Structure formats: structure tokens, C-alpha cells
Amino acid sequence: MQAARSSTRPKVAPTPFRLFKTFLAIGAFTFGGGYVMLPLIKRSIVEHSGWIGEDEFVDAIAIAQSSPGPIAVNIATLTGYKLGGYTGAFFAVLGASLPSFLIILMVASVFLGIENNPYVRAAMTGMRPAIVALMASAVYDIGKSAIKNRFAALLALLATVALIGFNVHPVLVLTIAAAVGLIKSRFAAE
């Protein structure tokens, strides 16, 4: 995440409290988790606050995806650490995690008693396609930032085929893509 720098100055200073508040709002108002949260995270930390640049955000997604754990928590960790060290990372992760922890705790106590209710089942059935649409929106938004030339488009296509068509593990796909990027940059430098 260090290689790409933000081209603009932050609109507000990224204090631990602001990191907590920002990621708390993201965690509280985004349902579906993971990739569904990415557009809101981008809007909050790239576009609204200017804490990191678009390239840094795409790099953070790559690092977060290749690390164990939920992608949103990993991005909160990376962003919080970059902006405020260990304290920033702690408060960003706390903010991102607290809403889902509390909501799931409450839902679990209620849902287990009503999970077979036809209205609850119908609501869940209706939410599933909307979650797919939210994820597709995240992919489209990130794709606009990450795919800037034909080489990147080809690499994205090949990675998609490997992931979907051949069920290749995501870490292996990211590792190969990183190696291809290194090889390409070496030949481009010569």
C-alpha cells in the first residue's frame, strides 16, 4: 500500500475517533458484508475523506483478499494502520466489527426461534438477489479503478476464468498475477 500515494490531501485528519466512527458507520449500514462493503469503504475513505488514493485502495483490496480473514476487517486494519499506526488499526477494526457483532448477537437470539417462519423465509429469499447486485456493483466500481489498460483487462479476464472456470484458489491466482506484473514491469523497464 506504500507504493501508490494519494494525490490529494485529506479533507479531515484521520484521528482514531474518526477512523472508529467511519468504520462503525460502514459496518452498521452495510448488509451483506465483505465485498458488498467495498463501495461504501471506497466512498468513505477515498472519495469523502481523501485519506487514501484510488490506487492505494485497489492495492489494499489485493492485500486484504490475499490475507486470512474478512476483507472488510482486513481493509480496516490496513487503512487504520497506515493512517494511525496500531492505535488507528485498533479503532478502525473495532468500528468495522462492532456493529456486526452486536447485530448478529441480537439476531441469533431471535432468528433461531423464527427461521422457519414463512415471512422470514420470503424476506431472506428476496434479499439474496439484492446481495448479488450489491456485489456486482462493487466489482464494477473496483474494476473501473483497477483496469486501466488492455494488459490489466486481459489479466482480469484470465484471473476470472481461473477462479470461476477452473476453481483455482484465490491466493494462487493473486500470486501468479503478482508475478506476471513483476515480469511485465521488468520488461517494460528495459
Q: State percent of the chain over pLDDT 70.
A: 94
Same domain, yes or no: 183 and 120:
no
Is the domain of 165 the same as that of 96? no
Same domain? For 112 and 153 the reply is no
Give how many domains the chain has, as a whole number. Answer: 2
Give 76's contacts (C-beta < 8 A, 6+ positions apart).
23, 89, 92, 93, 95, 96, 97
pLDDT digits (tens, 9 = 90+) for 126-150: 999 998 888 888 888 888 888 999 9
The answer to whether 58 touches 139, Cβ cutoff 8 Å, is no
pLDDT digits (tens, 9 = 90+) for 80-100: 999 999 999 999 999 999 998
Contacts of 10 (CB under 8 A, 6+ apart): 49, 50, 51
Q: Could you tell me if 40 and 82 lie in one domain? A: yes
Q: Per-residue confidence at 5, pLDDT binned at 50, 70, 90?
A: very low
Looking at the fold, whether 71 and 87 belong to one and the same domain comes out as yes
Q: Looking at the structure, do residues 91 and 179 belong to the same domain, yes or no?
A: no
Q: Is the domain of 71 the same as that of 153?
A: no
pLDDT digits (tens, 9 = 90+) for 153-167: 999 999 999 999 999
Give dist(CA 9, CA 173) in Å, integer.
34
Reply yes or no on whether the pLDDT at 2 is more than 60.
no
Q: Provide long-range contacts, Cβ within 8 A and 24+ apart, for 24-32.
A: 24/95, 24/96, 24/98, 24/99, 25/95, 26/72, 26/95, 26/96, 27/72, 27/95, 27/96, 27/97, 27/98, 27/99, 27/100, 28/99, 31/127, 31/131, 32/131, 32/134, 32/135
Q: Are residues 117 and 171 in the same domain?
A: no
Rounded Cα gap, residues 75 and 81, in angstroms: 10
- Tell me the C-alpha distance between 76 and 69, whole Å: 12
- Residue 65 pLDDT: 85
Higher-pLDDT residue of 4, 163? 163
Residue 4 has pLDDT above 50, yes or no: no
pLDDT recorded at residue 57: 93
Q: For residue range 6-62, list pLDDT tens digits in order.
A: 455 678 889 999 999 999 999 888 776 677 888 889 999 999 999 999 999 999 998
152: its cell numbers: 490489466
Do 134 and 165 lie in one domain? The reply is no
38 & 117 share domain: yes
In this prediction the pTM is 0.67
Asked if residue 80 lies in contact with residue 42, where contact means CB atoms within 8 angstroms, the answer is no
Identify the domain containing residue 4 by its residue range.
1-146
Indicate whether 106 and 172 sit together in one domain.
no
